[in-house]
């Protein structure tokens, strides 16, 4: 994605100075008045006419480009303008100002059930939607069995869709867009209603589609955005708040969301990482040349995040239980993670937790002190130091680099304030020739294959 000029053939979507303004009427009769009175006044020579509506700007001067093969996440709170933007790109809504140029066939999964006739059967809706997306009837005939198998709704394919659950709607809608040879795929929040197995099937298709196609992905799940998208746009009140790398935009959006929730009670201050020279940065990327070993780097001074000033984390360490100072850790061994902090103001229900993430921002595992403090409450006075300790067995991870996020909060499971959040407090580099499948490896005590006796 780029805001700079790009070769036309390389651009899948270009959005230029896009705005969408709605006329909002307080009463139904005001709409009728607006359609009649201004015309009558112009006929008698009165040009200035009082409008019977007020304007709502859903989008305001939005511009960006998406190159062929790029994946772009669109994030923002409800009402930020995400759905309006997607509808304009799909051509189902016209902008008030600005232009959208789309180069290629678009398949979109927007609002749940959009484009479906509730009186038609699933089969009839498949033919209707696929034909709208550009497939001829003979092509739909050839692909119908694949579409039905992907949706996996059984005999309901022959029933009116008004009898479908929300999950069945999502299954059938995604099955159609997955089989129309689209160049551009647009997926809104509709996938959130599906069950885990079907969602994973959709994600596998999306990852395969990304190899050659262009993806626009809208979600409130920041881990999914970071996982699927290289770039992201953050919309706020119809305006572009930030465009950039998905991980950076998602982190800033999360901080802003928390700040809006906290209001004036707490102010989250940005924590900026310091500049590193090229040599030091190069060294942190190197893998350790030992099988099944992890090298842990303290990155606390360079970690980004936010804080309120009421309490802060001042030390994070991963230690061997035997107390040795070895720099490397082996997958499967018992370790302790120690997080030390200081309270500036009194905390009646402090919580310390961590999340271990892979390079795509996916949460692999984590824990916090709530299971302990719910049974043994801890109060920390202003100016007092305190710590949390977690003992666990290290997982075995595939080659690559991982990060550990640390958070300090006050409250309970349902209501709490994040006083200090640090992205990448620890950086873990893993080298292992034994982990071949999946995100996390486990120890196998035995693998055997044989034939039963006849």
As a whole number, mean pLDDT of residues 61-83 equals 93
Residues of the chain with CATH 3.40.50.300: 8-254
Nearest to 266 by CA among 123, 127, 420, 387: 420
Q: Taking the CA of residue 107 as centre, how many other CA atoms within 13 Å lie in the half-sphere pointing to its CB?
A: 22
> Percent of the chain, pLDDT > 90?
49
Contact 388, 366 (CB under 8 A): no
Q: How many CB atoms lie within 10 A of CB 232?
A: 26
Burial class (CB in 10 A: 0-12, 13-18, 19+), 336: middle
pLDDT of residue 327: 73
Q: Mind listing the pLDDT tens digit for each residue in 384-439? A: 999 999 999 998 888 888 999 999 999 988 889 999 999 999 999 988 667 767 78
Q: Mind listing the pLDDT tens digit for each residue in 370-380? A: 989 888 889 99
Nearest to 113 by CA among 161, 79, 149: 161
Q: Mind listing the pLDDT tens digit for each residue in 182-223? A: 999 998 876 666 667 777 788 888 888 988 899 999 988 888
pLDDT of residue 282: 42
pLDDT of residue 383: 96
Q: Quick one: fold of 276-431?
A: Coagulation Factor XIII; Chain A, domain 1 (2.70.50)
Backbone angles phi, psi at 373, to 5 degrees: -70, -25
Q: Mind listing the pLDDT tens digit for each residue in 128-155? A: 999 988 899 999 999 999 999 999 999 9
pLDDT of residue 286: 32
Rounded to the nearest 5 degrees, what angle is found at the Cα of 46, between the Cα atoms of 41 and 51? 60
* Token pair recorded at residue 322: 């035997």
> Percent of the chain, pLDDT > 70?
89
Residues of the chain with CATH 2.70.50.60: 276-431
Contact 220, 200 (CB under 8 A): no
Tell me which of 2-6, 68-72, 113-117 is least confident. Answer: 2-6
Pairing mode, strands 184-187 and 214-218 = parallel
Q: Is residue 53 pLDDT above 60, yes or no?
A: yes
CA distance 203 to 195: 12
Contact 109, 267 (CB under 8 A): no
Q: Quick one: fold of 8-254?
A: Rossmann fold (3.40.50)
Tell how far CA 234 is from the center of its chain. 11
Nearest to 301 by CA among 452, 424, 438, 430: 424
Whole-prediction pTM: 0.77
Residue 256 DSSP code: H
Tell me which of 235-239, 309-313, 332-336, 344-348 is least confident. Answer: 332-336
As a whole number, mean pLDDT of residues 87-114 equals 87
């Amino acid at each position: 994605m780029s805001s700079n000029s790009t070769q036309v053939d390389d651009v899948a979507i270009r959005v230029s100075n896009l705005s969408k303004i709605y006329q909002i009427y307080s009463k139904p009769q005001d709409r009728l008045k607006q359609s009649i009175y201004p015309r009558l006044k112009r006929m008698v020579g009165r040009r200035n006419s009082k409008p019977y509506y007020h304007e709502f700007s859903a989008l305001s001067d939005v511009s960006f480009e998406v190159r062929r093969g790029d994946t772009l996440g669109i994030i923002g709170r409800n009402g930020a303008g995400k759905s309006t933007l997607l509808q304009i790109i799909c051509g189902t809504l016209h902008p008030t100002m600005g232009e959208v140029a789309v180069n290629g066939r678009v398949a979109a999964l927007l609002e749940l059930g959009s484009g479906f006739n509730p009186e038609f059967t699933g089969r009839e809706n498949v033919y209707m939607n696929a034909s709208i997306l550009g497939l001829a009837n003979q092509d739909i005939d050839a692909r119908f069995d694949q579409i039905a198998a992907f949706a996996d709704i059984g005999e309901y394919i022959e029933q009116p869709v008004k009898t479908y659950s929300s999950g069945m709607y999502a299954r059938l809608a995604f099955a159609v867009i997955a089989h129309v040879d689209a160049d551009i795929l647009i997926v809104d929040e509709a996938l959130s209603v599906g069950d885990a197995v079907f969602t994973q099937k959709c994600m596998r298709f999306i990852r395969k589609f990304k190899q050659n196609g262009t993806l626009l992905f809208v979600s409130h799940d920041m881990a999914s955005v970071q996982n699927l998208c290289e770039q992201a746009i953050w919309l706020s009140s119809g305006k572009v708040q930030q465009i950039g790398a998905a991980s950076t935009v998602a982190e800033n959006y999360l901080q802003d969301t928390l700040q809006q929730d906290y209001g004036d009670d707490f102010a989250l201050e940005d924590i900026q990482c310091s500049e590193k020279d090229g040599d030091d940065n190069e060294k942190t990327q190197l893998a350790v040349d030992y099988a099944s070993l992890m090298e842990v780097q303290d990155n606390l001074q360079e970690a980004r995040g936010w804080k309120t000033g009421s309490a802060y984390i001042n030390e994070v360490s991963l230690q061997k239980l035997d107390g040795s100072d070895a720099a490397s850790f082996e997958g499967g061994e018992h370790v302790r993670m120690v997080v030390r902090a200081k309270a500036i103001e009194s905390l009646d229900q402090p919580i310390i937790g961590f999340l271990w993430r892979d390079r795509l921002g996916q949460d692999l595992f984590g824990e916090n002190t709530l299971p302990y403090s719910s049974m043994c409450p801890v109060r920390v006075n202003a100016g007092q130091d305190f710590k949390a300790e977690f003992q666990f067995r290290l997982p075995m991870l595939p080659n690559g680099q991982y990060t550990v996020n640390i958070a300090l909060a006050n409250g309970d499971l349902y209501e709490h304030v994040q006083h200090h959040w640090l992205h990448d407090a620890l950086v873990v580099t893993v080298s292992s020739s034994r982990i071949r499948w999946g995100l996390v490896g486990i120890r196998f005590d035995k693998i055997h294959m044989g034939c039963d006796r006849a």
